[in-house]
Structure 1
């Protein structure tokens, strides 16, 4: 008798796409941010998304959910708040005052763990990914650190977009999410009561070896 062929392994059926070293480096970097912050220092997080998402009838609901998922007291900014009226878009003028970034990407299809970002959001992410907490908001799993996601740059070359894939077995109690939220907490953990938000810095998008 011939042995039964084994079923192909689902490459998305993982808890994270980061390897242990990448996770430890990320957590250490987030812990340094937490340790260096003086309690009560303002914390500003920018939500980046495309114009179509901001015009959606669900925009206010998404904004509320993201805000409630972040530590209490975080100031949440987005395009219309950071660039009101006729103020021209100038990311460099805003980025220096930000403490974190949340991506609200477009789902490839309803229920998908694949999220698409335009060229502007991709550049915003790249400017902060190695220095600040950067997370993606997923409609069914909540906030996920981008460090735990898989990425792929999409054409065209002159204005590349980004595809982020959330791990299929993501767990909200992961050390990376805990560390990222602590780094965005205006009060250091243990010094003031805070709301429970649970529900590759060097090479952040390098997948672990297979």
Structure 2
């Protein structure tokens, strides 16, 4: 899996305008490749794609979402060496710390997959109708949790994986059935791209 310096929008790799580079905080070295800033049109395109998914598919099938989350964890693990290598360069964190955070990230994804399969996440409450109740009938009342729509996630600088592109915020939104627009953090853009590509591969796997 290579780092190209692109945006990932609706399954496509997209170039942007303007460039910046990540910096190794331990050495001060500029890291290649250069990364583009997103244009307003590209942000709009990402939002529109997320809205279309939500409107056409809704939350989708819980088992399918669970398979995707499991596949995401597997793909991140498969790319683990590349993610750790780039992450250490971009953050200055030791490899062991990065690997531990990667494990936490994958465990979060699998935890939400397990929650989906348990089926309790909807917190459904059904009160059946009582048409003969006095002094007034009771209607059929139903309540459940449902996906609200697209979610924007802004990656953190201090936890590039666990609170990043595939971190807990993203995992919980995806588990709920909400499409996600994730903004990578400029301090570790290469790490963000690798995680984003792992999620793209997981979507194809699932």
Q: TM-score, normalised by structure 1?
A: 0.26
Bigger fraction of residues in helix: 2
Q: TM-score, normalised by structure 2?
A: 0.26
Bigger-Rg structure (1/2): 2
